[in-house]
Structure 1
């Protein structure tokens, strides 16, 4: 029996070992294909291994990636979710970011934000994390952007395959496509299981398009071509191709064929044999070129040494003799640890690009490089409908016609990537005025001669005016800007109001109501309350006016001077402690002492009356024999200045 058990054990060990060796072999084959970007073939093997019950963080990472890099986000989400759920301790920060991007593409923004918060916790120095922390309400902010684009799928030229990278050229639209045009042999790219890309051309007439045909037999090869940019004289083209030229197919040391930028010149109707750029390399990719409007700079995407993320936007100077300068990275904040790619320079010298590193709606979004008020760079998301929750890229626009194109793999398209045409509404320059009237807050009367200051959001003076008899002020200002309007006038307290101008032309009305420093009181009012006086103190058993008391009484003097017909009754009170008759006498002396001080300062005797009431008018229950706190007694030791006539 023991012998039989031993044999069974050996057989089981052999079977388990064989299975493990088989899985290890499959993994090696799959990894090799994955590293060569043959995602479709690699995925088939990974799925077989997963179906056999094998599980690891690396397997789930690569399965997720095989879908993620082909924008198949529903499937990518399945495997990234398994990765996060089963291997939380092993997960690398980049996969938290990719999972967040995947969830964002599926419009599961709350879950996407939770993943970004985890990403930030372990990778807070990453620019993508910093940008998320700076703008946690990015979805709302992008959604609130008022778009002036109308967008439509150009179904006349799109296929069920990948169509992207449009470029305007001599009345035509040049673009890249992996469409199957038939032929004896059909070569399939293992990245996405589609035919290799070629350059195609369609003639554009208003909004109609001719049937697409291959652009140039000299430029197209049996491998990938895409992303063209032409010089202003139409005689030179830069474009992207696999590392393949004149029959030579080259790989990096790791066995990967990279992308390179090539140049060709036109002689008659024929394009010359392409030559590669001197800054290309077998070890990294350069791709998606675009020329500056004056053709002195070439912008492109690359993962060459010095790249911040997976790919960055770079540029080189094109010298007058046709040579090229050293590549320069555009740096932060444009480039992030994510993907920045497909740059485009418009006639207005605006730089557009696609990125998944900046806050966006999902996948690659399209951005334009702007400038903030302080002169620093501003990365602006173009919002919907240009961007979607999927990949949006290869944006171009003709600034003179306001017509442009982009590519997107959003679900409503015909193929995996479609070309969309958009029209940008021409919006006249925004003209904005902030205007208003300066008035008295109590009477509503106009206040000519008032000064009005316009301040920016940093409290820096923009403009200053003195209003005329109509008390109206008016400032020409910028749209979508925060300001502060501040009014002032002698004998009035300054007042200010904030104003945020909208995006459309118009005016913002801001009324400035100033309150008098000394407001007119009604008959029966106590100036102690109206003027906000502090308690008026006398030395113990004394009735002479102390300096601190004089300071408070001087406010009453100022009121009497401001309103020369008003009359007041000065009333002095004590608490209940001490002899009643004595308290009445002392308080009367204090009231009359206060009146004498005002008369000495020029107030007519006929405008004043004064009397002491001792403890006869207590404001609480602290009468003789009642135990009270010092604070309660203090309430009874008070001075009143009652307005009896105006």
Structure 2
């Protein structure tokens, strides 16, 4: 690459150029690098990708005012792109934005209809013919506005100076932030990367992107719409000269700085990286050996294509983990396979220029196939592809207030499969939720909501045919006077010890009391009719005490609980003395009831709910 030093700024007009992790570009794929067909015997470099045109700069010979005097200048050209990313053989001179001074790297904001172009700082009669020999020539940025099919010059961008250069702009997709290079005082090296933000009609003072700059030169940035910033630098441990680097900008705070692990960088100067859509191709410039001129434009063509697949349930619209995905060629042979991760994603890779079938399989879901194309002009696959699969077994539910059956929005649903939590959901405005479930498993589904006492349901899909289950969850509000009949806290006949099937309910009550420290409760224990009245009264008191003691062992202050035994005085069914009833009927009477005596709902934030 030709380097011309103009008072500290290398006018490398040959395309030289915390946080979320930077996405690797052309990672783990074979690539082919071709010389672009528009290259000349002089210096050419790519500048911007605009629709189906590649805008580039080319060195031209200009005749001077004096006889036998001529000099070289960079003008702006464009060329149409072919479907596979190659360029047409001949470029078109952009005469409306090519002047008698130097034109360099540019950027366009399609959202605002603006273009920012690097130019020589000014045209002076005593230097215009010897622009690369005069040591005080500086660079500036000129702003243009879209005018029909052409561009109209508006005027200079701020910060231009005769004392330093401002050049190589790249604008955000919204047009409110511009990144550029400058050798202004206070930088880290020769030329540094800076940014400025538009506030109304003004631009803020330039801010140095310190994490990116080195003691060398950072040049020719290109800010892609996905937030990736590409730039060239000769101040890092690269392969030689200028190398191309990239990073993700999150709020203008750079993430990891990466480079390429393939032939894009070389021992020569490599710069001006411009990505094509979805990494299907890209452009950069270099003065490496084997080119046609001093600097040449190169096209990066991947021989393999890597894309990401997201698998989503068609029932819940949630990602599905553990899906096996196979890529089959047109002969049905599996050429690649993978499994989706916890977020439902998996990377896939296949040879370019061919068509394939994706096959997604997982137990509990119907097999799903999808055709994809890696042919340039035939509906090319998305870089982020989505596949919907249909579950064979489904769960619906609704969570309501037990008093009035009003829906509870925002309730948390936790789904445990064979004793392990595997999914969760949140109820919508109508209290509804959905979940995928799998055959041949046991489930426990819990519903909880702020200021309510949660509940759960157990069921099994063992032997269940494909279809859908529905459950109705009624929650008690934690208001003073609410009586919560806990149908799951039963006692064996003539016993007062806590049964294992009651532990889960008592644990929930303990968690509720810990979360809401202003709630006091009355605990009622009841027996069935069998036995004498006196015996049942004492038995119920022992059962009340057993329940109280359990809650105290869970950390609840004893003063918050009033425990009372009612014996057989408050039966809930017809099973009184001398009435023949089943064991299940009698068990309904051996129950525990909690009544909220005092309630001021102030959940402890420390519990994380």
TM-score range, shorter chain: 0.3 to 0.5
TM-score (normalised: structure 1): 0.41
Instruction: Considering fraction of residues, name the structure with more strand.
Output: 2
Bigger-Rg structure (1/2): 1
Between 1 and 2, higher relative CO (CA 8 Å, sep ≥ 6) is seen in: 2
Instruction: Considering fraction of residues, name the structure with more helix.
Output: 1
